[in-house]
Amino acid sequence: MSRQRSLALTGVLAIVAALAVILPSASASAANCVTGWQSSAVYTSGMTASYNGHNWLARWWTQNQAPGTNEVWTDQGTCGGGTTPPPGGNCSYPNWAAGTWYAAGAIVRYTNGQYYIAEHDNPGYDPIISTWYWDPYTCSGTPPSNPPTNPGGFVVSEAAFNQMFPGRNSFYTYQGLIAALSAYPSFATSGSDTVRRQEAAAFLANVNHETGGLVHIVEQNTANYPHYCDAGQPYGCPAGQAAYYGRGPIQLSWNFNYKAAGDALGLPLLTNPWLVQQDASVAWRTGLWYWMTQNGPGTMTAHNAMVNGAGFGQTIRSINGSIECNGGNPAQVQSRVNAYQQFVGILGTTPGANLYC
């Protein structure tokens, strides 16, 4: 090697060495990740969250808008280290695959490392884009190879559910019911263990009667269909005069009930009432909406009747008391009572008092 080339190489090595001293490594310069983004959290201007290996700054109010998918978030650069746990916690559910059918309750791992649970049946919609169909899911520890059959401690296991409804329509899935529970967290979780089991049994017993054992998704008497449009309401019947017939586990009917349920659940039921007969989770949510919030012909909600000790008879009054109670149709009442007594037996508790209305 000539002396000139040797000196040139020495000079290059010196520059490289100097740059190595001056320029920190990429890993050393990355900021620690701040607390991970949560879809349910509300962020206002100036708040930060980490997501997909980056820290993000909220420019204005936002909720359920993932960083990187909306201009509300400003990218603050890559991050690493810190104490923020990986998105979704320690899970072992399968990777999401586009085009694969997912039933409500299915849990998948998305490409960003976050886990998602299907709130509604869907043909493989993207969890980041189709947020109505998917919710973020966080777990801890090492779950079993299959999701638990009794998620969230619901007092009715899948085995008990199948025992209650051996001939049910496949539309009424247990997973759809579990997914719907998040809409009303106090359902079958209030009071003692006995009260919780009694409420679950009471709800399902009334559902059993309304649907013929979870067989019927829609009302069978089609002659009633045009009757359920109250055109005097300011919003009218935009889906058509005959569109608001009974659907779902407690047979939601009338345009004003579809409007009220849709408003409460954040669903477009007034303009698209068919959602109740197309999506199991939506159907179960409408049943829980009525149970938890509506007095009907009674003086209290069915939920309050069970939680406050008024008895199963008052749930009948709240659902169909104007036709069945006070001797109006004792055979219908007895049908509900029989199912309730059977279901509390399956759940290992007693029926309590005041069974009739």
Residues annotated catalytic, as ranges: 210
Tokens for 208, please give them: 């059993």
Distances 87 to 27, 67, 115, 137 between C-alpha atoms, Å:
20, 13, 7, 9
Beta bridge partners of residue 73, listed in sequence order? 58
Helix (H, G, I), strand (E, B) or coil at 163: helix
Tokens for 338, please give them: 């029989």
Any long-range contacts for 155-162 (C-beta under 8 Å, 24+ apart)? 155/188, 155/193, 155/196, 155/197, 155/200, 155/347, 156/188, 156/200, 156/204, 156/347, 160/346, 160/347, 161/204
- Beta-strand (E) ranges in the chain? 42-43, 48-51, 54-58, 62-63, 73-78, 107-109, 115-118, 134-137
Any long-range contacts for 269-273 (C-beta under 8 Å, 24+ apart)? 270/235, 270/238, 270/239, 271/238, 271/239, 272/239, 273/239, 273/243, 273/244, 273/247
Cα Rg of the chain (Å, integer)? 28
Helix (H, G, I), strand (E, B) or coil at 62: strand
Tokens for 356, please give them: 């009739």
State which amino acid sits at residue 185. P
CB of 96 closer than 8 Å to CB of 127: yes
Give the DSSP H or E segment for 49: strand 48-51
Determine the Cα–Cα distance for residues 255 and 234; give it in Å rounded to an integer. Answer: 11
Any long-range contacts for 106-111 (C-beta under 8 Å, 24+ apart)? 106/147, 106/175, 107/137, 107/147
